[in-house]
């Protein structure tokens, strides 16, 4: 059974492992660690399948300014799923939960930069 939940401190290594496995380099794992260490993470979600961490979605706060106003936004990423679990809708569920949490938190925009 798939469960999406907020990450805990004890999940840190599993999150790093997911991002190292999901991408060709460890850049995304390092990005997660940097955002986490700097206190920039506003939401960290993990996907568990039968008690095993198989996906992660990290969101950090950003302020978008222009036309004499500012909007609070979240940057999405890194988001990753273990390669052997791709195609099961795990990434979609991580994004759905992130969108729901953003709405509840009054976040007006989400940004995602990545490979389609």
Q: What is the percent of the chain where pLDDT is above 90? A: 81
- CATH number, residue 97: 3.40.630.30
- Quick check: 115 pLDDT over 70? no
Q: Tell me the mean pLDDT in the region 12-24.
A: 95
More confident call, 64 vs 22: 22
Compute, in degrees rounded to 10, the torsion defined by CA atoms 105, 98, 61, 106. -20
- Quick check: 116 pLDDT over 70? no
Whole-model pTM over 0.85 = yes
The pLDDT value given to residue 6: 97
Domain hosting residue 49, numbered range: 2-112
- Quick check: 2 pLDDT over 80? yes
Compute, in degrees rounded to 10, the torsion defined by CA atoms 33, 38, 44, 50. 30
The b-or-e profile of 86-111 (16+ CB within 10 A means b, else e) is eeeebbebbbebbeebbeeeebeebe
Any idea how long the chain is? 116
> How far, in Å, CA of 4 to CA of 65, rounded?
32
Q: Tell me the mean pLDDT in the region 81-93.
A: 96
Query: Across the chain, what does the average pLDDT equal?
Result: 93
Tally of domains in the chain:
1
Binned at pLDDT 50, 70 and 90, residue 66 comes out as confident
**For residue range 30-39, what is the model confidence (pLDDT) as tens digits?**
999 999 999 9
User: What pairing do the DSSP bridges indicate for beta strands 41-49 and 2-6?
Assistant: antiparallel
Q: Is 36 helix (H, G, I), strand (E, B) or coil?
A: helix
């Amino acid at each position: 059974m798939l469960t999406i939940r907020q990450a805990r401190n004890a999940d840190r290594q599993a999150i790093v492992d997911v991002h190292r496995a999901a991408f060709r380099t460890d850049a995304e794992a390092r990005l997660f660690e940097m955002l986490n260490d700097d206190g920039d993470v506003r939401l960290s979600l993990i996907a568990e399948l039968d008690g095993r961490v198989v996906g992660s979605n990290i969101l950090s706060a950003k302020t978008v300014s222009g036309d004499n106003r500012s909007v609070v936004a979240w940057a999405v990423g890194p988001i990753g799923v273990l390669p052997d679990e791709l195609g099961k809708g795990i990434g979609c569920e991580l994004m759905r939960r992130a969108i729901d949490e953003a709405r509840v938190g009054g976040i007006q925009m989400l940004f995602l930069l990545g490979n389609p």
